[in-house]
Amino acid sequence: MKKLSNDFSLSRYGVDARLAEITDAEFILSIRTDTYHTRFIHTTENNLEKQIEWLKKYKEREAAGKEYYFIYSQDGIPFGMNRVHNIFEYYGTEGSWLCKPKNDPKASMASYMILHDIMFEDLDLNLSIFDVRKDNKKVWKTHKAFGALDIGESEIDYYFSIYKKDYIKCRDKFVSFF
Amino acid sequence: MELNDFVKEFAFQFDDTDPSEITASTEYHELEEYSSLIAMSVLNFVEKKFGKSITFDDMKAAVTVEDLYKIIIEK
């Protein structure tokens, strides 16, 4: 299992990705407390101190190679975030993908693809396992377009997996949209 | 594919927007539901139905649904 350095950054598809820092707390909170765009994910209390504490604990998980939280910027202005967590041997769980309302669609999709590029190339994972709210139709349709396979469901969620080989095959097609 | 059919297919990519709200003259960037996920869905359907590849920049350049249709036809 590979680890990312604490100053990891990547520029691809016209956007810049870097690891989240404690100083990102305010930005993260501003996006995570937008009620319309976060209606399908776990709610976050609008409390800056708690967000800072959460990020401090996250940095410990990052140092251990268990989780990586990414902040995406375009022209130096942050617009989105996502993360891979519960990393173990060859797999991890992706999630927490959020972008500013009315963000440039190209940049938002770039952030989706960069997360997977990092998971499957930089971290050399082979599998992503995650859940999506059944009502979050546009998101699970997008995952399926990138090779996600149904592996189960609960009353409210679908469970998916994406294998590296399937993502790479789909990515090669979607890169032409950029 | 004629413009009217394209408008119907375009509207079909939205989940929460009433299809009757979307016409050839709709400025789709202004629709509340329009997002990266809708854009991806449109790019995908254009490739499947037209056998042509358009880009995010084409979608950004077009203002109305009809503008986008013209860009596709001219490719």
What is the domain-level CATH number for residue B50?
1.10.1200.10
Q: Cβ of A127 under 8 Å from any chain B Cβ?
A: no
- State how many domains chain B has: 1
Q: Is the ipTM of this complex over 0.90?
A: no
Report whether pLDDT(B4) > 90: yes
CB A144 within 8 A of CB A159: no
Mean pLDDT of B57-73: 97
Tell me A120's DSSP state.
I
Cβ A142–B37 below 8 Å, yes or no?
A: yes
pLDDT, averaged across chain A:
93
Interchain contact B36–A (C-beta under 8 A): yes
pLDDT band for position A121 (cuts 50, 70, 90):
very high
Which CATH code of 3.40.50.1370, 2.60.40.420, 3.40.190.180, 3.40.630.30 fits the domain covering A13-177? Answer: 3.40.630.30
Whole-number pLDDT of residue A39 = 67
Query: Is the CB of B40 less than 8 angstroms away from the CB of A103?
Result: no
Residue B23 sits in which domain range?
A: 3-74
pTM attached to this predicted model: 0.91
Instruction: Express each pLDDT in A73-113 by its tens digit.
Output: 999 999 999 999 999 999 999 999 999 988 999 999 999 99
User: What distance in Å separates the CA atoms of residue B49 and residue B31, rounded to the nearest whole number?
Assistant: 23
State the count of interchain CB pairs (< 8 A) between A and B: 51
Contacts of B17 in chain A (CB under 8 A): none
What integer best gives the mean pLDDT of chain B? Answer: 95
Tens of pLDDT along B14-39?
988 999 999 999 999 999 999 999 99
DSSP strands (E only) in chain B: none
d(Cα A74, Cα B14) in Å, to the nearest integer? Answer: 26
